[in-house]
């Protein structure tokens, strides 16, 4: 499976800073053609960055989307609007959106279906808290996020899906899941995807690991059978560091 390395810049960078980072990244990854690369800047920088990366193998993505096409929904942006500025992907259901902005499995599902209707590809984020893991409830929790988030989605639309397993306790903490812990959950996720869709579809869906991915741990993570990529926050803000992650396995 072609590896997929994605940058989630979260609430960081002005348009100028975003353009500068993307331009540096473009030079750093020149000639790297055997993996997919995605950058997800804030909404304000999407269009400018698109012009910087156009014609390269860096793809553009947004960090969220709304499910309606248009209307009186102040502050929201539709899948069509994202495609219009050059986005190929959108991140949906990041744990920070679930925690701070009342994202639920139901709204996640609406957003995924609306995105697929406009052929906008999706990275669906799932992952448990530390407390859930301590109580051995992490599998049940992630299973529910997958089942409810992917309700009424066809196997053919699932071609536009990637899943990111991001244990909440590993995000921004420097405390990465061990490669074994991540592999175990990735295999579990693939198994659940085979029930939701079918085995062939599940085998074709890329499952990314997210949570304190750094240049020095990417290789070990990527060597695991069911880890097909990485969703990188903090270490993607600097072009050199993100470049090392992209080239580091």
As annotated, the active-site residues are: 94, 166
Phi, psi angles (nearest 5°) of residue 132: -60, -40
Distances from the Cα of 74 to the Cαs of 6, 70, 188, in angstroms? 28, 10, 39
Q: For residues 209 and 5, what is the distance between their CA atoms, to the nearest angstrom? A: 9
Distances from the Cα of 151 to the Cαs of 64, 69, 116, 204, 211, in angstroms? 19, 20, 13, 18, 26
- Per-residue binding string, ligand PGA, 70-99, x by CB under 6 A, is ------------------------------
Residue nearest ligand PGA by beta-carbon distance? 233
Q: Is 157 in the site for ligand PGA (CB under 6 A)?
A: no
- Per-residue binding string, ligand PGA, 189-228, x by CB under 6 A, is ---------------------xxxx---------------
Which member of 108, 232, 239, 245 binds ligand PGA (CB under 6 A)?
232
**Residue 109 · residue 151 · CB < 8 Å:** yes
Q: In the bound complex, what is the minimum distance in angstroms from residue 138's beta carbon to ligand PGA? A: 17
The residues, ordered by sequence, that sit 6+ positions from 104 with a Cβ below 8 Å of its Cβ are: 98
- Per-residue binding string, ligand PGA, 107-146, x by CB under 6 A, is ----------------------------------------
Burial of 94 (0-12, 13-18, 19+ CB in 10 A): buried
Task: Give the residue with the Cβ less far from ligand PGA, 94 or 138.
Answer: 94
Residues near ligand PGA (CB under 6 A): 8, 166, 171-172, 210-213, 231-235
């Amino acid at each position: 499976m072609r590896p997929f390395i994605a940058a989630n810049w979260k609430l960081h960078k002005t348009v100028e800073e975003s353009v500068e980072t993307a331009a540096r990244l473009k030079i750093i990854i020149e000639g790297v053609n055997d993996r997919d690369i995605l950058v997800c800047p804030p909404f304000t920088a999407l269009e400018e960055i698109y012009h910087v990366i156009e014609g390269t193998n860096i793809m553009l993505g947004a960090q969220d989307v709304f499910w309606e096409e248009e209307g009186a929904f102040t502050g929201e942006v539709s899948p069509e609007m994202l495609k219009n500025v050059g986005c190929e992907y959108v991140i949906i259901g990041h744990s920070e959106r679930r925690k701070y902005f009342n994202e639920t499995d139901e709204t996640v599902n609406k957003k995924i279906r609306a995105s697929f209707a406009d052929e906008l590809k999706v990275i669906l984020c799932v992952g448990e808290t530390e407390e859930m893991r301590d109580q051995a409830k992490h599998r049940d929790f992630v299973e529910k996020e997958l089942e409810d988030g992917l309700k009424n989605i066809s196997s053919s639309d699932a071609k536009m899906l990637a899943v990111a397993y991001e244990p909440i306790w590993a995000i921004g903490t420097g405390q990465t899941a061990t490669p074994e812990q991540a592999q175990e959950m990735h295999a579990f996720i693939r198994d659940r995807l085979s029930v939701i869709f079918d085995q062939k579809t599940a085998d074709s869906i890329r499952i990314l690991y997210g949570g304190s991915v750094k240049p020095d741990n990417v290789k070990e993570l990527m060597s695991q059978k069911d880890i097909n990529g990485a969703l990188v926050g903090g270490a993607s803000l600097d072009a050199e560091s993100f470049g090392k992650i992209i080239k580091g396995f």
